[in-house]
Amino acid sequence: MKEDIRRTDPLTGEKFFAFRVNQTFATPANRIKFHNKSASELRKGRAFLDKHVHKNHLICKQIYVEGKENIFDNMWLLGKGLRSDATNHQEPHQGIIRNCIYEYMLIPIENKTKIIKLKK
């Protein structure tokens, strides 16, 4: 005979009888609301960095010209809004670890920065 499993919904705190062994929430709407809330909190926590990385990516996409040597003055890049401290990963280039913004690599050269597009 099947046992009645009494559980507590993590979102509302209400007691309910689970129909399945793996049922955690009283209703599907509670499950969706709970996971949307936790994902929203995670996005808010990352927003302070993600907004700058996203803006840097848009700037790189705008100024990068395929087949051209893409060397830009640091002050000009700063004026465009590019933040050299907001990158999302690093990759080696000629034996040196370089900062990257998605598919673009930033290579500092004296008071200029060379931007190259990484091969996928």
- What's the pLDDT tens digit per position in 8-41? 999 999 999 998 999 999 999 999 999 999 999 9
**CA 85, CA 70: separation in Å to the nearest integer?**
19
Cβ pair 33, 42 in contact under 8 A: no
pTM check: above 0.85: no
- Segments making up each domain of the chain, as ranges: 5-117
> If pLDDT is split at 50, 70 and 90, which confidence band does 83 have?
very high
Cβ pair 34, 10 in contact under 8 A: yes
